[in-house]
Structures are given as structure tokens and as C-alpha cells.
């Protein structure tokens, strides 16, 4: 088999590298030494004018799978290393360790659990980091990806303002399916629990700590977080037909967990006395573009999310279940609710940002509905909002435990 170098546009051609030789013997001037996590295969880093790259040597089939899965996940919401190229035919035997190589874009400004745990530790970000790890696995599973090797060293972290983004870097064991069964998800969790225990034991050993004192149950903690998150994102909620404000609560809880809601389905139950609420979890940061498509308006992501929850609420109120009914309801919502109310708000004195005022009004409507235990209309909420001196809820956060309690927002 002859050498084949497949490179995606925008990257160097990597023709300067001696692909026929094993990575450990390379001494090319572009190679750089950088810290890396535990790895099964040889990994080297190379610097080019186009950027930094990680090069991993592995058997052909594993390399192909790694490359294909990372490519496929690019259209999902899961953050992964970006595949840049696949090199095959480095050795006549495709099963040989040296037969192929995968090139990924180096994830800059990232760090691994290993670096963190052997350095400063989690500190007060422990919950955030573990939630992020669990969240990555949930996102992968929602995207139909069975990882097969979720471990501390196959994830990198990057700080993004207040949040931390987990990034999947090693997909050579992953499989993509239309949908994963509960058994497959559980199997992936089992693998993760074992891998994490192994990773923690390694860290303890490298620090001279007795294995008995290592936190070998960390993976179980992550699994518990995963299960809670999965449940919140996928469970069906049953509500009374006059309790549609609880849809808002549900959306808010999902948003608080860092996920966006793509669609809400409301299915009548018990002869219409109850509704079953099904939430379809969408990507991150898609609200502002969706709002722009619908209304032509530019809003901040947080505002757009709140305004679109109003659309979902409206669709719920009007029993829009089919895709067509939802589209019709979206147009009606814009013409009969959103635009007239935005215009009323724009006409008020001292309104700097009418979209923010709209969000404040929506939040006010929500609080009043909770207080009454039943839906109140937007007009009634508007009068009450004016009467109370247009309370400003900018920056409010409703924690999962505070939801549903009158005045929970602050």
C-alpha cells in the first residue's frame, strides 16, 4: 500500500514530515515539545504558519474511525478536536501501529484533568468541572455517539469567561448511531467509571499517594451528575392544562444546565385535562440566529432565549403540535403578540432597550403566574409591570431549586 495523505483545506500539506518512519524517530525542525496527557499511542506536536497540530500514530482502522467520528461530530454541538488530516499506507501492514496517523488542530489554551489534579486541584470549581465532564458525555449521547473510551486523559478543558468547555480529543473507539439505547449509554458510563478510577490511581501513584487514599469513586460522582442531567433533558413532564407556565420553568431549568431548547411538544393526555411536555434539546447559542430568522431582530443570546421561550409558551397555549401548526403559530405570535407589545414598549419613555424590556415583562408575567398558580395573560402582566414601576430583571438567575417559588428570582 502506498502512502496516502488526505488533508482538509486550510491546513499545511505536511509533505515535509517523514511519514514512512515512526513518529518517535522524527527530528523535523517543525516539531515542538508540549505537555500532554496519558496516551496509548505516540503523539507529537508540530508548528506551522497555519497553526499548531497534534499528530498521532495508530493502526489504520482506528485512525479512520477517529477521523470520521471527529468529522461527523463537527455538525453536532459536541466540542471536539478538529481533524485536519489522515495519513495512511505508512507501513505495508494496515494493522501495524505505524500504518496511519491522524492530524488534529492543537487545542490551544487548554489543560487536562491530569494537569489540574497533579497541580492546583479542582478548588472551588470542582462541581463545575465535573458537571462539564458529565455534560460532554450527555451531549455525545444525545448526538448518538457511543464513546467507548471516556477517560480523564481523553478530554481537554478550556476556560470560556465564567464557564469551562470540555473538549473530546480521542474518538478512535467511538461509534455513531441514529440513537443510543439505554444499554449502550450505561455501558459507556461503566467504561468511564473504570477509566476514571484508573486515571485517579495513576495520579495517586505519580504523587506517591497510597491507592487506598485516591478518589477512585470520582467516576461514580460524574455518572450521578450525568444521570441527573440526562433525566432533566429527556424526561417527559406532565402538567395540568392551566399550568402552562410550568413549561417556562422546564425551559429555564434546561437553560440553566447550559442547554438550549429546540422545540417543545405538548401532547394532550387524559382527555385534554393534562398535557405531556416533551422538550427537544437543541444546540448551544442558536437562539439569536433563530430569533433573527423569525423577526429580523438582533438580540443578545440570553434575551433571544427568553423571547423564544415566549414563542414556545404561545405555541403551547394554542395547542400547536404539528410542524405546520407550529410555523403558523410562530407567525401569529410575531404579528399579534411580539411586534405589538414591542411597539408599546418602544413608545414608553426612558426605554433604552425595548428587547430587554420585553424580557423583563416576560419574567414579570412568569412570576405573577407562579404567584397565582395559573397563567396570566401578557396584557394583564403588562399592566401589572407598569403599575409596579417596570421592575428590571436584568441579570436575574433562577437556580434549579428556586424555580417555582414566588419571587424566586432576584
Ligand X SMILES: Nc1ncnc2c1ncn2[C@@H]1O[C@H](COP(=O)(O)OP(=O)(O)O)[C@@H](O)[C@H]1O
In angstroms, what is the minimal distance from the CB of 376 to Mg ion?
54
Q: Enter the C-alpha cell of residue 283.
A: 444546540
How far is 286 from 232, CA to CA, in rounded Å?
20
Q: Does 112 bind Mg ion (CB under 5 A)?
A: no
Question: Strand, helix or coil at 274?
Answer: strand
- Total binding residues toward Mg ion, as defined by CB under 5 A: 2
The option from Mg ion, ligand X, none interacting with 219 (CB < 5 to 8 A, set by class) reads none
Percentages of the chain per state (helix, strand, coil), in multiples of 5: 45, 20, 35
Instruction: Indicate the residue among 107 and 137 with the shorter CB distance to ligand X.
Output: 107
Q: Does 153 bind ligand X (CB under 6 A)?
A: yes
Q: x/- string (CB under 6 A) for ligand X, residues 102-131?
A: --xxxx----x-------------------
Instruction: Indicate the residue among 88 and 170 with the shorter CB distance to Mg ion.
Output: 170
In angstroms, what is the minimal distance from the CB of 239 to ligand X?
44
Q: Does 158 bind ligand X (CB under 6 A)?
A: no
Q: Enter the C-alpha cell of residue 346.
A: 418602544
In angstroms, what is the minimal distance from the CB of 40 to ligand X?
4
Instruction: Indicate the residue among 170 and 260 with the shorter CB distance to Mg ion.
Output: 170
Site for ligand X in 11-70 (CB under 6 A): 36-37, 39-41, 43, 54, 56
In angstroms, what is the minimal distance from the CB of 37 to ligand X?
3
Q: Strands (DSSP E) along 258-322, which ranges?
A: 260-269, 274-282
How far is 39 from 45, CA to CA, in rounded Å?
14
In angstroms, what is the minimal distance from the CB of 202 to ligand X?
12
The option from ligand X, Mg ion, none interacting with 302 (CB < 5 to 8 A, set by class) reads none
Site for Mg ion in 148-177 (CB under 5 A): 154, 170
Instruction: Indicate the residue among 202 and 262 with the shorter CB distance to ligand X.
Output: 202
The full DSSP string for 119-178 is TT--GGGHHHHHHHHHHHHHHHHHTTEE-S---GGGEEEEEETTEEEEEE---TT-EE-S
Contacts 24+ apart (CB under 8 A), 395-404: 396/363, 397/256, 398/252, 398/256, 399/256, 400/253, 400/256, 400/257, 403/249, 403/252, 403/253, 404/246, 404/249, 404/370
Residue number closest to Mg ion, CB atom: 170
Identify which range of 148-156, 266-274, 276-284, 388-396 contacts ligand X by CB under 6 A: 148-156
Instruction: Indicate the residue among 195 and 369 with the shorter CB distance to ligand X.
Output: 195
Contacts 24+ apart (CB under 8 A), 307-310: 307/338, 307/355, 307/358, 307/359, 307/362, 309/248, 309/251, 309/252, 309/261, 309/362, 310/337, 310/338, 310/362
Summarize as ranges the residues that interact with Mg ion (CB under 5 A): 154, 170
Residues making contact with ligand X (CB under 6 A): 36-37, 39-41, 43, 54, 56, 81, 104-107, 112, 153-154, 156, 169-170, 172
Amino acid at each position: 500500500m502506498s502512502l496516502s495523505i488526505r488533508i482538509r483545506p486550510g491546513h499545511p500539506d505536511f509533505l515535509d514530515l517523514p511519514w514512512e518512519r515512526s513518529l518517535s524517530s522524527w527530528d523535523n525542525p517543525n516539531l515542538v515539545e508540549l505537555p500532554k496527557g496519558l496516551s496509548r499511542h505516540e503523539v507529537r506536536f508540530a508548528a506551522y504558519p497555519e497553526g499548531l497540530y497534534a499528530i498521532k500514530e495508530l493502526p489504520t482502522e482506528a485512525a479512520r474511525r477517529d477521523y470520521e467520528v471527529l468529522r461527523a461530530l463537527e455538525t453536532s454541538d459536541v466540542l471536539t478536536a478538529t481533524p485536519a488530516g489522515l495519513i495512511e499506507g505508512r507501513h505495508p501492514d494496515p494493522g501495524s501501529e505505524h500504518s496511519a496517523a491522524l492530524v488534529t488542530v492543537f487545542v490551544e489554551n487548554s489543560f487536562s484533568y491530569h494537569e489540574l489534579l497533579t497541580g492546583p486541584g479542582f478548588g472551588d470549581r470542582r462541581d463545575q468541572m465535573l458537571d462539564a465532564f458529565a455534560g460532554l458525555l450527555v451531549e455525545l449521547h444525545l448526538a448518538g455517539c457511543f464513546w467507548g473510551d471516556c477517560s480523564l486523559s481523553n478530554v481537554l478543558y478550556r476556560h470560556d469567561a465564567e464557564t469551562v468547555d470540555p473538549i473530546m480529543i480521542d474518538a478512535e473507539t467511538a461509534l455513531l448511531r441514529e440513537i443510543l439505547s439505554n444499554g449502550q449509554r450505561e455501558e459507556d458510563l461503566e467504561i468511564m467509571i473504570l477509566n476514571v478510577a484508573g486515571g485517579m490511581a495513576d495520579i495517586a501513584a505519580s504523587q506517591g499517594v497510597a491507592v487506598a487514599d485516591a478518589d477512585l469513586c470520582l467516576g461514580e460522582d460524574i455518572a450521578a451528575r450525568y444521570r441527573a442531567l440526562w433525566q432533566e433533558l429527556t424526561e417527559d413532564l406532565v402538567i395540568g392544562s392551566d399550568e402552562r407556565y410550568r413549561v417556562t420553568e422546564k425551559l429555564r431549568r434546561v437553560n440553566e444546565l447550559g442547554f438550549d431548547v429546540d422545540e417543545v411538544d405538548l401532547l394532550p393526555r387524559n382527555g385534554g385535562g393534562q398535557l405531556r411536555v416533551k422538550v427537544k434539546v437543541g444546540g448551544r447559542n442558536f437562539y439569536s440566529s433563530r430569533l433573527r430568522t423569525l423577526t429580523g431582530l438582533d438580540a443578545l443570546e440570553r434575551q433571544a432565549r427568553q423571547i423564544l421561550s415566549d414563542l414556545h409558551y404561545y405555541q403551547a397555549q394554542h395547542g400547536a403540535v404539528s410542524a405546520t401548526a407550529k410555523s403558523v403559530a410562530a407567525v401569529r405570535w410575531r404579528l399579534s403578540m411580539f411586534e405589538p407589545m414591542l411597539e408599546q414598549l418602544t413608545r414608553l419613555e426612558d426605554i433604552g432597550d425595548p428587547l430587554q424590556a420585553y424580557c423583563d415583562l416576560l419574567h414579570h408575567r412568569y412570576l405573577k403566574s407562579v404567584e397565582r398558580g395559573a397563567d396570566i395573560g401578557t396584557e394583564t402582566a403588562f399592566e401589572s409591570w407598569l403599575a409596579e414601576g417596570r421592575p428590571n430583571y436584568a441579570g436575574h438567575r433562577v437556580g434549579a431549586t428556586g424555580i417555582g417559588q414566588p419571587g424566586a428570582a432576584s
